[in-house]
Amino acid sequence: MSAVETTTPRIVSVIRIIRRPGLSANQLDALIGISLQDTASPSDIVERLNCSSSAVTQILDVLERRRYITRRYAAGVGDRRRSMLAITEAGRLLLESLETQLEAPLS
């Protein structure tokens, strides 16, 4: 069996696992980025994803709606660019679940 024949099923399996929660690649990458820091700013995520601030705002809106992250604003400041992002327990559990599934042997 060639390397391609043995690698392709694993790649397909990984793609299926990553798609299960219904997040885009950028949404998942943003969630991972936030999880790697105690707190992250939207600017940190713009830099990580190399996309526009408006695109990151939409990504963060989805993650917040799904309760995977929280946004904390400085007192008296409603500017969404000045928020600090933190992963929630639900977000942490999702990433742990994905990691466990990705570490499992190919079935």
pLDDT of residue 93: 93
pLDDT of residue 22: 86
Tell me the mean pLDDT per 10 residues along the chain, length 107: 64 78 91 92 95 95 96 69 88 91 72
Q: What residues pair up with 84 in beta bridges, in sequence order?
A: 72
Residue 30's CATH number: 1.10.10.10
Q: Which of 41, 45, 51, 38 is nearest to 82 (CA)?
A: 41
pLDDT of residue 82: 75
CA–CA separation, 70 and 40 (whole Å)? 11
pLDDT of residue 73: 80
What's the one-letter identity of residue 48? R
Domain tally, the chain:
1
Q: Which residues constitute the domain of residue 95?
A: 3-103
Is the distance from CB of 70 to CB of 88 less than 8 angstroms?
yes
pLDDT of residue 4: 55
pLDDT of residue 72: 87
pLDDT of residue 44: 95
Q: Which of 107, 64, 55, 106 is nearest to 85 (CA)?
A: 64
